[in-house]
Amino acid sequence: MRIGELAARAGVSTRTLRYYESRGLLPAADRGANGHRVYGDDALRLVAQIRTLQDFGFELEDTRPFVECLRAGHPAGDSCPDSRAVYRRKIAELDELMAELRAARDHLTAQLARAEAMPPPCGAGGAGGDRGDVPLCGG
């Protein structure tokens, strides 16, 4: 298939495909008699693997072991040890991020509890704004 067809089927631009090829993630395309790039169906599978991983937050270089696994003839990009090592590293990164988010949430929860325990400021009308039933300071 020509580059435009591969791009359409994979949901990426032709520029993206050329970039993947320049980075060695896609093998260099064969050239037709007219000089146009011609890709096999395996290229669609490689691009789909890259896009899926990127959708999950993987950097482009993180996809390389998965692509290499597929190019080596394995049935799935994550069936090779190097791919599983990337999974483990990404899981560890997510665990660290979740711990940071939990700590930030706990801090905000404590701040909110502290703020809600304080008496309202003098003359504060709350959500109602300028209400006459709220005593004024020193009044």
Instruction: Parse the chain into domains and list their residue ranges.
Output: 3-116
Q: Tell whether the model's pLDDT for residue 129 goes beyond 60.
A: no
User: Are 38 and 1 in contact, with CB atoms under 8 Å apart?
Assistant: yes
User: Are 48 and 65 in contact, with CB atoms under 8 Å apart?
Assistant: no
Q: What angle do CA 68, 72, 77 make, to 5 degrees?
A: 55
For 5-55, what is each residue's pLDDT tens digit? Answer: 999 999 999 999 999 999 999 998 888 888 888 898 899 999 999 999 999
CATH fold group of domain 3-116 = Multidrug-efflux Transporter Regulator; Chain: A; Domain 2 (1.10.1660)
pLDDT for position 37: 84
Q: What is the pTM of this model?
A: 0.74
User: Are 67 and 46 in contact, with CB atoms under 8 Å apart?
Assistant: yes
Q: Tell whether the model's pLDDT for residue 138 goes beyond 80.
A: no
